[in-house]
Amino acid sequence: MLTALLIVVLVTTLSAAMLWRQARSIQIEAADRGRAQADWVLQGALDWARLILREDKRNNMNSRDGKPASDDLTEVWSVPLAEARLSSFLSQDENKSADAGPDAFLSGHIEDAQSRFNLRNLVDNRPEEVRAAAQLFQAAGLSTNLVEQLRLSMNYAAVPASAPPGEVPLLPTRLAQLRWLGLNDEQIRRLSTLVVILPRRTPVNVNTAPREVLAAVLFTDTGSADRIVRQRQVKPFRSFEDLKPFVPQEPALSAERTAFTSDFFFVEGQLRMDDRVLAQRSLVERRNLEMVVLDRERLQRLSTLPGTAAGYGATP
């Protein structure tokens, strides 16, 4: 009798283990399939954004009014894609019904990366760039000592021969990597909407930059920067002649530091499925009509509870 009971217990245990392994295998397979599908959708969103940026560049090159081109917040690329059911895109295909797609929602937007101050500009040790960075850090409520810290670290990373022995840091390519240079998460958060790290030196686009960045780069106050923001909403700036009446210090106007068009853009796509959110941000460089993807990063959602606001953190 005891032997029979032991056999029953053993068979039951083995059966339960086999069922658990099978269920686990199915879950893993479903997760892998879901990730592959999400990657496909986000890649499609990125390709769509690249097409929009290419057409915008083509329009700039073929301007019929003879005026200089501009990239500004009145253009098609700056209009975000509001969250829409993925099947609504699939239904554009006559061979697929609106209910054929998965229960997923897609959203996204394109952001001008040159609307922010490029920390790579500190590598050249130019006084005007250091001054602009200091004003920007003050606007973010941070010590200007951090600017000198970043300037030294960025230069050491870019030119290792200039660094003290054994103190050569890695050159960051994303804001999250500023931790390598001694900044903490709160400092990076405060700077996240004001600065960027791009592969080369870049000017700030006055048609897209926030007032804090405009004030820092143009060496003016936020009141003057606000007037520039209001004016560009009425009529985007296309030349320094357009901008001069709004800038008290004319020496601040330099093609190396300010511009009216942009070459670098961030493309962010977000896919929501049930209580899961997958988001990807890509850095795209526009080289004439060629849209080159320089970097991609997955954004981690901080909360997936229904009814809570989505928060994201970039992976280093």
The long-range contacts involving 191-194, CB below 8 angstroms and separated by at least 24 positions, are 191/137, 191/140, 191/142, 193/116, 194/116, 194/117, 194/136, 194/139, 194/140
pLDDT tens digits, one per residue of 273-309: 877 888 999 999 999 999 999 999 988 654 443 333 3
Q: CA-CA distances (angstroms) from residue 182 to 97, 171, 303? A: 53, 13, 27
Q: Report the predicted TM-score, pTM, of the whole model to 2 decimal places.
A: 0.82
φ/ψ of 246, rounded to 5, equals: -105, 0
Domain coordinates in residue numbering, the chain: 36-86+103-116+201-301, 119-193
Nearest to 298 by CA among 118, 191, 176, 170: 176
pLDDT tens digits, one per residue of 161-209: 777 877 778 899 999 999 999 999 999 999 999 999 999 999 999 999 9
Contact 22, 83 (CB under 8 A): no
What is d(CA 241, CA 309) in angstroms, rounded to the nearest whole number?
44
Other Cβ atoms within 10 Å of 281 Cβ, number: 21
What is d(CA 10, CA 117) in angstroms, rounded to the nearest whole number?
67
